[in-house]
Amino acid sequence: MIIAAAGGHNLLMIGPPGCGKSMLAQCFPGLLPPLYDEELLEVVKIHSSCGMPVKSLLNGQRPFRSPHHVISDVGLIGGGTNPRPGEISLAHHGVLFLDEFPEFRRTALEGMRAPLETGQVSIVRARGAFDYPAQFQLIAAMNPCPCGRLGVKDSRCNCSAASIQSYLKKLSQPILDRIDMHVELQAVPLESIGSSSRDSDEVEAAQTDQIISEIAIARDLQFHRQKALNATLDGKGILGSQSVDPKALNLLERSANRIGFSARTFVRLLRVGRTIADLDGESIIRTQHIAEAISLRSLERISNLVQAA
């Protein structure tokens, strides 16, 4: 979550039901800096045009939208007879959380492809085209398989390889290509939750403040260096800046061949590696940064596992 917040990376969480995916997503906007003035104006404009409350926005809080997976294409992307912005525009400069990601209508998810690249959505109607801003950070969540127990300690998944395959296939490669990080989560044992005391609450609050300030420092560094978050960089920009350790690049190339990463994934790994290096205060992307970025691409591994089964 820290890496995603620091670099603006889209994130997919994969884990069994009840492992805290929704809770983590809801905490996520709190890790981000408050809305800047120009951002605030754009966001208030969209929300008030839909007759929605703007009080929390005026306090600097970034939008957090979490539509249910039964939402229509128009509801998610925008449009309609009297065109209006969809959830992706209401999440502009904030977070769009899509729980049960593979359950969303395929056409709705595919409609996000262009906005995820360009940060805006164009809706063409007989009486003209409407452009709405849609620069949002996507946080998605899914179970590892239809029953939710694949890879969960001390429990048994009873899904067939074919049903897991078709579940994973609901997510098209172009959509997955637009998500920088896939992270596997495990359920937390109950006994490790209950032991919260006043002291540990204070320690936790101090740790949270520390995390928020690390994220803010990493984001400032990026705006200072390239006037944009790492999530928007292209491969040439990163490789051309001579800021990748040759050993790290070598590791990336070897993994790409072994695991079969696409060219887009290669760039995503460089971006995430850049963010991890920024959080470390390093100007050079080193082997450990790339190794960590590769470890945050679970879906390729899960997909390979299922194919091998």
For Zn ion, the closer of residues 158 and 213 by Cβ is 158
Pair of tokens at residue 275: 């963010």
For Zn ion, the closer of residues 21 and 149 by Cβ is 149
> Residue 7's closest CA among 269, 291, 286, 301?
269
Find the binding residues for Zn ion in span 99-128 (CB under 5 A).
none
Per-residue contact track with Zn ion, 159 to 188, x per CB under 5 A? x-----------------------------
| Cα gap 167→161, rounded to integer Å | 10
145 binds Zn ion (CB under 5 A): yes
The minimum distance between CB 151 and Zn ion, in angstroms, equals 9
What is the DSSP pairing of strand 181-184 with strand 11-14?
Answer: parallel
Using the contact rule CB under 5 A, the part of the chain among 28-36, 75-83, 156-164, 253-261 near Zn ion is 156-164
Candidates 147, 218, 229, 269: give the one binding Zn ion (CB under 5 A). Answer: 147
DSSP, residue by residue, 171-234:
S-HHHHTT--EEEE--PPPGGGTS---HHHHHHHHHHHHHHHHHHHHHHHHHHHHHSS-GGG--
* Total number of residues that touch Zn ion (CB under 5 A): 6
User: What CA dihedral angle connects 22, 88, 64 and 178, to 10 degrees?
Assistant: 50
The minimum distance between CB 138 and Zn ion, in angstroms, equals 25
For Zn ion, the closer of residues 145 and 244 by Cβ is 145
Q: Three-state DSSP class for 131? A: strand
The minimum distance between CB 109 and Zn ion, in angstroms, equals 22
| Cα gap 271→292, rounded to integer Å | 12
The minimum distance between CB 101 and Zn ion, in angstroms, equals 16
Phi then psi for residue 14, to 5 deg, are: -120, 120
Question: How buried is residue 151: exposed, middle or buried, by Cβ count under 10 Å (0-12/13-18/19+)?
Answer: middle
The minimum distance between CB 301 and Zn ion, in angstroms, equals 16
Using the contact rule CB under 5 A, the part of the chain among 50-58, 67-75, 141-149, 235-243 near Zn ion is 141-149
Using the contact rule CB under 5 A, the part of the chain among 49-57, 84-92, 151-159, 202-210 near Zn ion is 151-159
157 binds Zn ion (CB under 5 A): yes
Chain-centroid distance, C-alpha 148 = 21
Q: How many residues can be counted in the chain?
A: 309
For Zn ion, the closer of residues 265 and 303 by Cβ is 303
The minimum distance between CB 148 and Zn ion, in angstroms, equals 6
The minimum distance between CB 155 and Zn ion, in angstroms, equals 9
Query: By the criterion CB under 5 A, which residues form the site for Zn ion?
Result: 145, 147, 149-150, 157, 159
